[in-house]
Structure 1
Amino acid sequence: MTGRSPLPRRVEVLAGLSVAIDLGLGQPAEHMLRSAVIACRLSDRLGLDRTQRDTTYYATLLMWIGCHADSQEYARWFGDDIAVRSDAYLVDWSGIPYFRFLLGNVARGEPIGYRVKTMATLFRDARGQIATLVHSHCMSAAALARHIGLGPDVERAIAFTYERYDGGGLPNGVSADDIPIEMRVAQLADMVEVHHRTYGVDGAVAMARSRRGGHFDPAVVDAFVTDPEGVLSVVGDDPWSSAMSLAPDSEISLDEPGLDALVMAIGDFGDLKCPFALGHSRRVAEIVDSAAGQLGMSPVEIDGVRRAGYLHDVGRIGVSSQIWSKPGDLTGAEWERVRMHPYLTDRVLMRIPGFDDVAAIARSHHEHLDGTGYPLGIGGAALGRGQRLVAAAVAFRSAGEPRPYRAELSDEEAVARIKRRVDRGALDGECVEAVLTAAGHKRVRIRRDDALTPRETEILGLVARGMSNREIAARLVLSEKTVRNHVERTYTKIGATNRVGASLYALRHGLAGPDAEGLSG
């Protein structure tokens, strides 16, 4: 990195985020971008005003942002969360097809005994159980929209993602015009894109007509089927350029602090895929920022490694939570999927203009000097200092975090492990020493005025890391009822409604991760 590249525009970074969302939906890259272009054309046909059209654009682009934050919960019911989301596009979630779909996908990929047990639990109150999950999704989506700086109109619209025009949706059974028009357009655009790509124009039209008045607003369907080729042709052969040209704030650039704030928020979004790693990307970025200064790296290089630290794990979204949450050994196929996540990070970041250097560092965070890393197995001179530094920070930080298959290591154990990797030639010794020095600095303690008690603060941290009330009770030797009461009081004090809201609060106030420090007063 020899000089500063022009900073990307805000919409370009958010478009990159939409590609990450595509991965978690089991859809090809640029699905949400194509959907946003289709939604803009439908908005024009419906005569929506500029504000409505602008809201429709971002509501469509990021309507599924809440799914990946709740992947752990989703995987508890459906196993492979990505596969079931992909298949869900081909089913109208209503009536018999809906229940047939649920039956075929409960605990997908799990042993038969576990599947039967999960089916029995789910079907005692299928709608109630799914409504709880959907409500959590909607709250998560709204919280994340706020976290990355989208406006209140977009935040409001995406809370209706699962509602249906006929009132048969979730979580509140809202119907007709009570669903914001922006979401009614986004729903059709999202489905039309998949069916057009899968079955052609006739297939997309047939799907839209079959769900007219049920899932979809009849007026929106009519705007599409009157001239479907005209709606679909607007996407063109370059969905990225088409979507950028239609963006409501296409000329809004980012300054350096604004870019850092946005990439930090996207890193938080990626970490929510695996609650046990909440705060991981923030801490990696903090460590490499300090360590890079110790190594005498230039300001441009420091900016690059810090942003790579924030974004290195966004590719996790493209791997099922069924795998990330597995407490035992991975199969060969599962391990191959894990080894793909740095490549998926690269797919997301390479789409953002000016992020070539950031992508090159981020995709190498599991590469080793001796060539034993992944995904490419490169080493030696092929790894620059920024790549070596981020790899060292990720290795150290990961050791101090819990995983489903092990508890977090103590500081002494983490230091010993990373030094053994230096001894065998996997990590750069100079970068490791800089990381250990940076990691040893006391973090800035954030003053809070939420009036949380020490016990509530402790429980908040465990909730944010994805632990259930039962697991927290066992860990703290409390009754489940006591834990539930603590959680309810904590949520009230911090204004959260679910785990994701609590997690975002914990991140903002330095309460995420095993070494979190917060100062109340």
Structure 2
Amino acid sequence: MTRAALPTLGGAMAALSVATDFAMAQSAHFGMRSCALAVRLADIMGWPVQQQRQAYFQALLRYIGCNPESEVIASVVGDEMAMRRDFAGMDTADRHAVGALVVRRLRETYANLPAWRLAGKLVGTLLTAEKTMAGIFSGHCEVGQRLATRIGFDGDTVQAIGQLYERWDGRGQPGRVRGEQVSPAALLVSLSQDVVVHHDAGGVEAAVAMVRQRRGKAFSPAMADAFLGHAASVLCGIDALPEGVLVDVPGGDEPLDEARFDAICEAMADFVDIKTPWTLSHSSGVATLAHGAARSLGLPAQEATLLRRAALLHDLGKVGVSAAVWCKPAGLSPPEREQVRLHAYYTERILSSSPAFAPLAEVASLTHDRLDGSGYFRRPPASGLPVAARILAAADHYHALIEVRPHRPAFTRADAARDLLAEAGAGRLDPRACEAVLDAAGHAAAPKPRGSSLTEREIEVLRTLARGHSMKAIARELGIAPKTVDHHLQRIYSKVGVSTRAGATLYAMEQGFTSALH
């Protein structure tokens, strides 16, 4: 990929917003349509260009931190995607409405339970719902801010992303700040996204009624009035924004250099991998193997770089499938297997939404296809699988085997190598690609900590925490007392500057502590 083909910041974030649309189970182009509305309202209110720019990127990145608690939500309500879809646009301070939604989701998920057990589920969940939601929202904010910082956004934009659940009346999360203490960009995008949800459901009248009801509560009165005074005009065409069309970035877009493009790809990889404790650092590990194999086979540097980026993003479509499927400890049902197969298609959809990502989409979407026509989702003939796709398929297969999965333990390296070569012998994977991946795996150095001040014991505790273990489970696995675990966690959080399990997990991924290549 040449420098001329590198995307702009706006184009890259547009693709990331499509990924968050899938992750939040929202309608097509939800993030970009919300962005268009926010920019129109900011212009009506006479915001300066820099402030409009913050609103633009806030709309595209608002849910970049949404994935860390996916398994937790799925373990409670069964399908976090359905919960997120139904929760969108809801007044988060309306306890009755939120409680009714939780009850409905629980009744659907546990419909086969005896009445007394269902009642216990309902009572237990409702009693802890407020505390659970506060923890989830805090984790979303912290992870979103860390990822936005890695992408290279300024402090004001990062601060706004950390306030996505705050409200004008101070009844939001996690800081319960109010009024002008809340970032204007965060407030405007909150209004814009709620408007899009209600407009999709009931048209202009529904959106207007919702804003009137929440004026001075969730929404700034001035912002609500700006919308109410121009509702018909600002919503004109908002539901028909064509796929792939980007709203102009206020003040102009900016091109990305190679280093920042790599940083964005790495952040997007962690965005998807943190969805479950079973896939932490999977994409970065596959990228390490694929890049090493490409160099071993003598691919030109430009092609090896393209392959590394495609490997980082090859599983991006996983965000569109419920964590209840990815974390299921038993065999998948036919509908669940079909959902898994769809994630490769979702990956292509996300990456193809930005022209500069299209070359990556061509390789990434072929990860699960095989030479004999099996696999999914394209099923091209063997001649239609380029060398890069063959390497990526082998790297992904090997790396998945050496990782723990909910239905099996990790393979040993020797067993994983035998399985990989068996796939090549059966004609499903390319033999040369498999040999190159094994060569890369044999020489892959464990990622070095980037200046981490943690002790070896603290790293062990952090690594176990990142896998989703409770404090008691960490104590059992490491043979120490729960109080000792708590002491270690307090020191870890203080040393690395995080305040949530989600933030600590992302830090562990950034440092390479969760890599299966250790």
Q: For the superposition of Structure 1 and Structure 2, which TM-score range results when normalised by the shorter chain? A: over 0.9
**Distance 1:473-1:335 versus aligned 2 partners, 3 A rule:** farther
Q: Residues of 2 paired with 1:426 and 1:116: CA distance?
A: 50
**Distance 1:337-1:317 versus aligned 2 partners, 3 A rule:** same
Partner residue of 1:420 out of 415, 419, 422: 422
Q: For residue 448 of structure 1, report the CA deviation from its aligned partner.
A: 5.1
Q: Is the 8 A contact 1:167 1:176 kept in 2?
A: yes
- Amino acid in structure 2 at the alignment position of 1:343: Y
Q: Residues of 1 paired with 2:275 and 2:251: CA distance?
A: 29
Q: Residues of 2 paired with 1:444 and 1:219: CA distance?
A: 53
Q: For residue 419 of structure 1, report the CA deviation from its aligned partner.
A: 1.3
Q: Is the 8 A contact 1:462 1:472 kept in 2?
A: yes
Which deviates more, 235-244 or 69-78? 235-244
- Amino acid in structure 2 at the alignment position of 1:509: Q
Partner residue of 1:313 out of 315, 333, 350: 315
Q: Residues of 2 paired with 1:107 and 1:248: CA distance?
A: 49
Corresponding residue SS for 2:502: helix
Which deviates more, 226-235 or 364-373? 226-235
Q: Give the structure 2 partner of residue 112 of structure 1.
A: 113
Q: For residue 326 of structure 1, report the CA deviation from its aligned partner.
A: 1.2
Q: Is the 8 A contact 1:368 1:427 kept in 2?
A: yes
Q: Residues of 2 paired with 1:204 and 1:20: CA distance?
A: 25
Which deviates more, 462-471 or 316-325? 462-471
1:15-414 aligned at under 5 Å gives the runs: 15-93=14-92, 94-106=94-106, 109-110=109-110, 112=113, 116-233=119-236, 235=238, 237-238=240-241, 243-250=246-253, 252-414=254-416
Q: Is the 8 A contact 1:75 1:107 kept in 2?
A: no
**Distance 1:118-1:454 versus aligned 2 partners, 3 A rule:** farther
Q: Residues of 2 paired with 1:451 and 1:122: CA distance?
A: 38
Corresponding residue SS for 2:356: coil
Q: Is the 8 A contact 2:148 2:158 kept in 1?
A: yes
- Amino acid in structure 1 at the alignment position of 2:21: D
Q: Give the structure 2 partner of residue 519 of structure 1.
A: none
Q: Residues of 2 paired with 1:429 and 1:116: CA distance?
A: 56
Q: Deviation per CA, 1:25-55, whole angstroms, max 9, x where unpaired?
A: 1113311011011001111222222222111
- Structure 1 outlier segments of 4+, above 6 Å: none
**Distance 1:49-1:316 versus aligned 2 partners, 3 A rule:** same
Which deviates more, 461-470 or 364-373? 461-470
Q: For residue 222 of structure 1, report the CA deviation from its aligned partner.
A: 1.2
- Amino acid in structure 1 at the alignment position of 2:321: V
Corresponding residue SS for 2:355: coil
- Amino acid in structure 1 at the alignment position of 2:183: P
**Distance 1:7-1:172 versus aligned 2 partners, 3 A rule:** closer
Q: Residues of 2 paired with 1:176 and 1:242: CA distance?
A: 34
**Distance 1:77-1:175 versus aligned 2 partners, 3 A rule:** farther
- Amino acid in structure 1 at the alignment position of 2:62: M
TM-score normalised to structure 2 length: 0.93
Q: Is the 8 A contact 1:36 1:243 kept in 2?
A: no
Corresponding residue SS for 2:83: helix
Q: Is the 8 A contact 1:276 1:466 kept in 2?
A: no
Which deviates more, 300-309 or 371-380? 371-380
- Amino acid in structure 1 at the alignment position of 2:83: V
Q: Is the 8 A contact 1:367 1:374 kept in 2?
A: yes
Q: Residues of 2 paired with 1:319 and 1:107: CA distance?
A: 21
Which deviates more, 183-192 or 504-513? 504-513
Q: Is the 8 A contact 1:38 1:234 kept in 2?
A: no
TM-score normalised to structure 1 length: 0.93
Identity %: 35
Corresponding residue SS for 1:277: coil
Q: Is the 8 A contact 2:36 2:247 kept in 1?
A: no
Q: For residue 173 of structure 1, report the CA deviation from its aligned partner.
A: 2.9
Q: For residue 15 of structure 1, report the CA deviation from its aligned partner.
A: 0.8
Which deviates more, 32-41 or 46-55? 46-55
Corresponding residue SS for 1:356: helix
Q: CA RMSD in A?
A: 2.2
Corresponding residue SS for 2:445: coil
Q: Residues of 2 paired with 1:309 and 1:300: CA distance?
A: 14
- Amino acid in structure 1 at the alignment position of 2:113: I
Q: For residue 310 of structure 1, report the CA deviation from its aligned partner.
A: 0.6
**Distance 1:449-1:386 versus aligned 2 partners, 3 A rule:** closer
Q: Is the 8 A contact 1:16 1:352 kept in 2?
A: yes
**Distance 1:448-1:64 versus aligned 2 partners, 3 A rule:** closer
Q: Give the structure 2 partner of residue 10 of structure 1.
A: 9
1:468-483 aligned at under 5 Å gives the runs: 468-483=470-485
Q: For residue 95 of structure 1, report the CA deviation from its aligned partner.
A: 3.5
Partner residue of 1:506 out of 494, 498, 508: 508
Which deviates more, 252-261 or 238-247? 238-247
Q: Deviation per CA, 1:146-204, whole angstroms, max 9, x where unpaired?
A: 22222211111122222222333223333322222211111110111122222222221
Q: Deviation per CA, 1:334-382, whole angstroms, max 9, x where unpaired?
A: 1111111111010010011133221011011111111220123334222
Q: Aligned residue pairs: how many? A: 514
Which deviates more, 13-22 or 409-418? 409-418
Q: Residues of 1 paired with 2:145 and 2:308: CA distance?
A: 27
Which deviates more, 17-26 or 5-14? 5-14
- Amino acid in structure 2 at the alignment position of 1:102: V
Q: Is the 8 A contact 2:139 2:500 kept in 1?
A: yes
Corresponding residue SS for 1:446: coil
Q: Residues of 1 paired with 2:107 and 2:164: CA distance?
A: 24
Residue segments in structure 2 that go unaligned for 5+ positions in a row? none
Q: Is the 8 A contact 1:205 1:225 kept in 2?
A: yes
- Amino acid in structure 1 at the alignment position of 2:171: G
- Amino acid in structure 2 at the alignment position of 1:400: I
Q: Is the 8 A contact 2:143 2:506 kept in 1?
A: no
Residue segments in structure 1 that go unaligned for 5+ positions in a row? 517-521
**Distance 1:514-1:12 versus aligned 2 partners, 3 A rule:** same
Q: For residue 481 of structure 1, report the CA deviation from its aligned partner.
A: 3.1
Q: For residue 221 of structure 1, report the CA deviation from its aligned partner.
A: 1.4
Q: For residue 117 of structure 1, report the CA deviation from its aligned partner.
A: 4.2
Q: For residue 494 of structure 1, report the CA deviation from its aligned partner.
A: 1.8
Q: Residues of 2 paired with 1:97 and 1:445: CA distance?
A: 46
